[in-house]
Amino acid sequence: MSKEYDLVILGGGTGGYVAAIRASQLGLQVAIVEKAELGGTCLHRGCIPSKALLRSAEVYRQTLEAAEFGVETRDTTLNFTNVQDRKQRIVNTLHQGVQGLMKKGKIDIFEGFGRILGPSIFSPMPGTISVEYENGEENTMIVPKNVLIATGSRPKSLPGLEIDGVSVMSSDEALQMKELPQSILIIGGGVIGIEWASMLSDFGVKVTVLEYLDQILPTEDKDIAKEMERLLKKKGISIIKGANVLSDTLIKDSGVSIQAEINAEKRTFNAEKILLSVGRQANTENIGIENTDIVLKNGYIETNRNYQTKESHIYAIGDVIGGMQLAHVASHEGITAVEHMADQEPHALNDENVPTCIYSNPEAASVGLSEEAAKEKGYQVKTGKFPFKAIGKALVYGESDGFAKIVVDKNTDDILGIHMIGPHVTDMISEAGLAKVLDATPWEMTQSIHPHPTLSEVLGEAALAVEGKQIHG
Ligand code: NAI
């Protein structure tokens, strides 16, 4: 027997479940096929659990440094079991929340693995979904009018340096660690590598980061990446750039040892464990792509601006289509795709208006073009920069490293990018995002009054600094 729906979504992660809620609001009959747990990578193996651990690391570090605030603490110890339990409680609460939202939206959930079938007795078009169950139960056939692929991504490994979950971990396994290692070698100094380096260092682990390129956080503005490197080194993290890791030199013994070529010289690195954070790859296998005309490009599903694949009734969003692999991008894409299939006219997403956040200590956040990317695109730029050390609230808060930087088109005065590093910048980047969406000029940013004393004053001052008119610097 087959079931019929207006929309079937493969994958109930942040992209998939948000799309389902929007579809339900628009009156569509929706089902999600999910092989594991609703909430996907972000909720169970990504954003939420990693931020919960980062917060525990922050509290631990701040407690150790509490004397600076006149607060005497004695015998501060870390109970990592309780740290992990707290993380899990937060995940469980949010998981229940998502399940509740599905019920409220009358969204059906099929707990199995979804595969797209070609033309069949159920439908002359590809897109019938066969749901396969681990317990061997008979497959369910679902015949949808539209399909949305939101199957996400998984950590990449390197040839010869396979993830075994014990000595060589990805962030998936690292999130489940029962005990902290004494030392760790982090391969890849991108967003995951830097967040974990900061967190583990704050927990007291000896951290070494090996980055292949000559800049950590290679897509960030150079000034931000440099400041991040300086501040992480100040914490005692060893950061080695231009490191070509020689995967075939891996030795697993009581710990791990691996060689890397740096400036044509081979160096050996030893640690208790390796964390591999060299990017993620799309989950496109076994979902029946071969039964359709869907095109893959560099391993990602190709779509148009409305997220339609080459099969116009099959849409794809989130990490599986590549681009900015971020939860908030996936959910926005999901909403756009669903609105398009419901004959609305959604706005196409502009990558240059999407904020990115790094939740290390210090935090970093940005929206739009870096100074280097703007110049590469042919813009003549002017910039304004203002440090947190001249912001009263940052001193009060006890974290005055970092700055805000605004990159502006010299000819039109349009803001091209805003980049921040320092306390709570991930919560403050939304103002910059709104400025980008509204095509604001720095002067317009200064006309939105920044209350005193707040950390947000750093943005008002950086906007003034574009014309050299900053007040406190
Ligand atoms: P990434 O693409 O951000 O960084 C990978 C890093 O590894 C790059 O710096 C790259 O140059 C380096 N690399 C690649 N091959 C290497 C090698 N053989 N040896 C040494 N270094 C090598 O990927 P990452 O950090 O794994 O994150 C995956 C995705 O998840 C990203 O798209 C990221 O934006 C997203 N994410 C976002 C978060 C956030 O928004 N806060 C948090 C965590 C992940």
Q: How far is the CA of 438 from the centre of ligand 1 (A)?
A: 30
Listed in sequence order, the residues at least 6 apart from 461 whose beta carbon sits closer than 8 Å to its beta carbon are 386, 390, 391, 404, 470, 471, 472, 473
Alpha-carbon torsion (92, 48, 32, 7), positive or negative: positive
pLDDT of residue 120: 86
* Residue 363 CA: distances (Å) to CA of 146, 264, 325, 402, 422: 40, 33, 19, 9, 5
pLDDT of residue 1: 61
Ordered structural domains, the chain, with CATH: 2-154+281-341 (3.50.50.60), 157-278 (3.50.50.60), 353-465 (3.30.390.30)
pLDDT of residue 454: 98
State the Cα–Cα distance between residues 57 and 71, nearest whole angstrom: 18
Ligand 1 pocket member 278 (CB < 6 A): yes
Q: What is the pLDDT of residues 245-268, one digit of tens each?
A: 999 999 999 999 999 999 999 999
Ligand 1 pocket member 424 (CB < 6 A): no
Question: Average per-residue pLDDT in the chain?
Answer: 97
Q: Which residue has a Cα nearest atom 24 of ligand 1?
A: 279
DSSP-derived pairing of the beta strands 403-409 and 415-422: antiparallel
What is the mean pLDDT of the segment spanning 171-180? Answer: 98
- Which ligand 1 atom minimizes the distance to the CA of 244? 19
Ligand 1 pocket member 419 (CB < 6 A): no
From 191, 248, 326, 421, give the residue whose CB has the most ligand 1 atoms within 8 Å, as the site to mutate: 191
Q: What is the pLDDT of residues 50-77, one digit of tens each?
A: 999 999 999 999 999 999 999 999 999 9
Nearest alpha-carbon partner for 162 in 276, 314, 311, 313: 276
Ligand 1 pocket member 188 (CB < 6 A): yes
State the Cα–Cα distance between residues 439 and 443, nearest whole angstrom: 12
Q: How far is the CA of 278 from the centre of ligand 1 (A)?
A: 5
What is the mean pLDDT of the segment spanning 313-338? Answer: 98
Say if CB 410 and CB 439 are below 8 A apart. Answer: no
Q: What is the pLDDT of residues 92-142, one digit of tens each?
A: 999 999 999 999 999 999 999 999 999 988 889 999 999 999 999 999 999
- Which ligand 1 atom minimizes the distance to the CA of 325? 32
Q: What is the pLDDT of residues 366-421, one digit of tens each?
A: 999 999 999 999 999 999 999 999 999 999 999 999 999 999 999 999 999 999 99
- Which ligand 1 atom minimizes the distance to the CA of 324? 32
State the Cα–Cα distance between residues 200 and 188, nearest whole angstrom: 15
- Which residues are catalytic, by number? 452
Is pLDDT at 2 greater than 80 in this prediction? no
Structure tokens at 248: 């075939």
State the Cα–Cα distance between residues 246 and 251, nearest whole angstrom: 11
What is the mean pLDDT of the segment spanning 37-43? Answer: 97
Q: How far is the CA of 359 from the centre of ligand 1 (A)?
A: 14
Which has more pLDDT, 454 or 160? 454
- What are 434-443's contacts with CB under 8 Å, separation 24+? 436/352, 436/353, 436/367, 436/368, 437/353, 439/414, 439/415, 440/415, 441/408, 441/413, 441/414, 441/415, 442/384, 442/406, 442/408, 442/413, 442/415, 442/466, 442/467, 443/413
